[in-house]
Structure 1
Amino acid sequence: MGFAISLHILATVIWVGGMFFAFMFLRPAAATMLAPEQRLPLWRNIFGRFFPWIWASIAIILITGISMIVMLGGFGGLSGVGVHVHIMLLLGILMMLLFMHVYFNPFRKLKWAVAEQDWLTASNALDNIRKFIRANLILGLIVIVIGISGRYW
């Protein structure tokens, strides 16, 4: 159980921490210091390196989360765990779906637009990514709070 929760938390920290850093620090700095011709390829490269880590985090979170539900819930599975686990699971699945949308839609558009040097399309795609990352960051922070404190409700 200790190994599963450690991996679960590590994967969560990588995903949510990466979003926090990118949204709160990297985005504002890049926006004020770099022209679109520099900023947009930078973001394409950042996401190209960060998104595989999110895919790995999703796999680890799902595997460890389900295994902990089985371990904690026994044969009852979800019926044997607290409501906070249900909330975490629901919000986590929503986060995963939002990420998949980002990956398969605006990120794909960003990659294409940067390759074509279509800075307006790339900028619009990046703005869409920003909105989804903001939503996912908020959800991720809520999930962390629930995960830490939920059993004490």
Structure 2
Amino acid sequence: MPYALTLHLLAAVIWVGGMFLAYVCLRPVAASLLEPPLRLPLWSALFGRFFPWVWAAVVLLLVTGHWMIALFGGFAAVGLHVHIMLATGYLMIALFLHLYFAPFQRLKRAVAASEWPVAGIQLNQIRRIVGINLILGLVTIANAVAGRFLYA
């Protein structure tokens, strides 16, 4: 159990923390200091380095989450907060899959072709999805920490 919980927490911190850094800190700075021919390749490269970590986090979160549910006796034995955590987690994963396979791929192609308006549209779509996922991630963390007390 301690291994599953530790890996689960580390994966959540990497994914949600990375989104927080990108959305809250880097995005406004990059937008104010860099023109599109510099800003868009930066984002494409950043996502290229961050998304393999997100893939690893997704796998770890799924494996360790279901592992811990099994250790607690299955879905019938866990509290409402765990079911809420699963729902928000699966929604986050679905949004990430869309982000990765649609706008991120289009962003990479547009940046490679120096099509800055197209790349900007894709980056804006990614920004919206990351913003939604960041909120979902923070809600999921709050639910994981306090949910068992709120729904008892």
Same fold flag (TM > 0.5): yes
Q: Identify unmatched segments of 5+ residues in structure 2.
A: none
1:145 maps to 2:142: yes
Counterpart in the other structure of 1:108: 105
The structure 1 segments of at least 4 consecutive aligned residues displaced by more than 6 Å after TM superposition are none
Query: After superposition, what is the alpha-carbon deviation per residue over 1:113-134, rounded to whole angstroms, capped at 9, x for unaligned?
Result: 0000000000000000000000
Q: How many positions carry a matched residue from both structures? A: 150
Counterpart in the other structure of 1:90: 87
Query: After superposition, what is the alpha-carbon deviation per residue over 1:97-124, rounded to whole angstroms, capped at 9, x for unaligned?
Result: 0000000000000000000000000000
Shift of 1:143: 0.2
Q: Distance in 2 between matches of 1:71 and 1:137?
A: 28
RMSD: 0.4
Shift of 1:31: 0.2
Q: Identify unmatched segments of 5+ residues in structure 1.
A: none
Q: Could you say what secondary structure the match of 2:32 adopts?
A: helix
Counterpart in the other structure of 1:19: 19
Q: Distance in 2 between matches of 1:106 and 1:151?
A: 37
Q: Distance in 2 between matches of 1:107 and 1:134?
A: 15
Shift of 1:151: 1.2
Give the aligned residue type for 2:64: T
Give the aligned residue type for 2:28: P
Q: Distance in 2 between matches of 1:42 and 1:21?
A: 14
Shift of 1:150: 1.0
